[in-house]
Structure 1
Amino acid sequence: MRPNPNKPMKSTILGLATLLCCSCYGQQWMTRNGNVDFFSATFAENIEAKNEMASGILATDGQFAFRVPILGFRFEKALMEEHFNENYLESTKFPNGSFEGSIVNWNMELNDGAWHEVVARGELTIHGIAIPREIPSKIQWNGEAWQIQSEFLIATADHEIPIPKMVRKKIAEEISVEVNLSLSPR
């Protein structure tokens, strides 16, 4: 059964609101211009897109909520961008991707200036389909902001992203995603 297309947006807003309310007495860090890039490599064609509009918040207890507007992805070819939004991600129906959860074993002692390997555990929602994920990441406090980096794979089938038979050789079954965020004090 297909989920309500408005549910991911409502749950993302609710998650951000809850995080804001629950953390109002502690420090928070946020971004409105995080980078999310993806790459699909096949023998027939490589597809790459970049998005510099990821937004999100991180609380002192390690809880986070991030949102990526699907229409924010930019491609080398305009036709690829059009197909991505209209045929695959259906961005009018599902305008955002999101990841909400917490950093496993979070503690404020991670702010020593070194890069630390962590695991972000939460719910990744793409194309209206929420999947529990544990995503290996790196985090660093640089004295002014938290830097977060992550690379992971997304299987198109997990999120019920339709890939027509005639283009299956041009689109990888697993898409490589790279995330770079800088979260400043709120």
Structure 2
Amino acid sequence: MVSIDEKTTGRTPRSNVATYSGLFEHVRRRFAQTPAVRSRGYRPGQFSFNITSGRCPTCEDEGSVMVELLFLPSVYTACPDCHGTRYKASTLETTWHDRNTAEILAMNVKEANAFFDGEEEIMRSLSALIDVALGYLRLGQGAAELSSGEAQRLKLASELQRTQR
């Protein structure tokens, strides 16, 4: 029996569809296995928002920076260094099948399904997301941006994709 509640998805504000469903762990491993990444000595954590070695030091993985205005309320604007991708330039230089991590996170589930065709571990997560009608969500869409129904379906997809117990 699986119980799906209305609690928030993810443990941190950085949690997104790809990390919550577990598929980004497999994506990070694919990146770490490329010759270019090996030659740089990067590990899978280089492609995580939670590790300082890969995230943008200017915005510290926020994707935006606060601009203080003297007589007006402060505003947020895209980070001048990472342009909202949240990664260091050196991390974005590395690609897997001609895509960097930010480009992969910008894909929606259906686009990613076509891109990762043949990658069994990743496809299991993507298929479960499509099965619960979440094919329109971006992989990098923040968990806090999801409606309660989307969050419940994301939890359901995460349970459905687990191997048979």
TM-score by length of 1: 0.27
Report 1 or 2 for greater relative contact order, CA contacts < 8 Å, sequence distance ≥ 6: 2
Q: Return the TM-score normalized by structure 2.
A: 0.29
